[in-house]
Structure 1
């Protein structure tokens, strides 16, 4: 994924002022910034959900996006969500989804209504839906909100495995995540994404 000169404003208030970013294959990267810095806006643009006012975003392959606020129907079960997304992605089955459910450890919650699940379990479902079609680029906005410690560690094991498989993963957070797990880390401030810093070999 390559981002060149991306600008965006809300009601003439600039949020992004010329963001440049290059995310290579097989890279686990992070973007940090204070609340209101424009991180979620940037991810919406990268995923194609929002058009920038100016600038270009190019990418190869499929994108998986896990927004900070899970877009789930509280009246449906987790399993019904998996089947809906299977149809949307035109997948032959739920094999990959079931693997992810097992890795994240919420199989016993799949038949409960989403509206009755804990925030952490909803986030596990949110992440599974973003990954079940095996995207080439994964965009994650505060992905571990509500996770317990064990799930947090499983999350990093999973993203590391995706990186090792040659996929590109971008984790966005208001706090610096475990930087030793990242290949690159950028800081979004004043609408500009500051030059990437290599944090791992």
Structure 2
């Protein structure tokens, strides 16, 4: 993915002032910034959910997007969500989804409705839905909110495995957690991305 000179404003409030970034194949990257810095706006633009005022975004291959706000149907079970997205993605099977469920340890909840599950389990499903079509680029907005420590570690193991498979993963967060796991870390400040020292951040 390449991003060139992206600008965006909400009325007179300028949020992004010329963002540039490159996410090569097999990269685990992060963007951190204070609340209100424009991280979610940038991710919505990268995913195509929001159109920038100026600039270009180029995706190479499929991408997955895991928004911060979990968008699930409380009347459906975990499995019904997977079957719905299987049809939407036109997938032959649920192999990749089942691998994600195994990695994040929530297969036992497959036939339970999501409205009775914890926020952490709902977030696991949210992440699985973004991954189940095997994207080349994965965009994650605060992906581990609600995770317990064990699941948090499993998330990073999964992200590392995706990188080793040649996938590119971009994690957006307001704090530089586990920055030493990242290949590159940027800080979004005053509408621009700045290189961030991962050793110092760790």
Residues in 2 aligned to 1:145 and 1:28: alpha-carbon distance in whole angstroms:
18
SS at match of 1:111: coil
Deviations 1:28-82 (A, max 9, x none): 0000000111001100100111110000001200000000011111111111100
- Provide, for residues 105-149 of structure 1, a one-character-per-residue CA deviation record: whole Å limited to 9, x for no partner: 111112111122110000000000000010000000000001111
Equivalent in the alignment of 2:168? 168
Alpha-carbon distance in 2 for matches of 1:190, 1:30: 17
1:104 aligns with 2:104: yes
* 1:41 counterpart = 2:41: yes
- Answer whether contact 2:180 2:198 (CA < 8 A) is retained: no
- Normalised to the residue count of structure 1, the TM-score between the two structures is 0.96
Q: Deviation above 4 Å: which 4+ runs of structure 1?
A: 196-199
Q: Report the 3-state secondary structure (helix = DSSP H, G, I; strand = E; otherwise coil) of the residue aligned with 1:194.
A: strand
RMSD over aligned CA atoms reads 1.1
Structure 2 residues not aligned, in runs of 5+:
none
Partner SS for 2:139: strand
Provide the rounded CA distance (Å) in 1 between the counterparts of 2:138 and 2:122. 18
Contact 2:179 2:198 in 1 (8 A): no
Residue 11 of structure 1 and its aligned partner are, at CA, apart by 2.2
Structure 2: how far apart are the matches of 1:195 and 1:176?
13
Partner in structure 2 of residue 184 of structure 1: 184
- Residue 130 of structure 1 is matched in structure 2 by 130
Instruction: Name structure 1 gaps, 5 residues minimum.
Output: none
- Answer whether contact 2:123 2:144 (CA < 8 A) is retained: yes
Q: How many residues align?
A: 199
Q: Partners of 1:11 and 1:109 in 2: how far apart?
A: 44
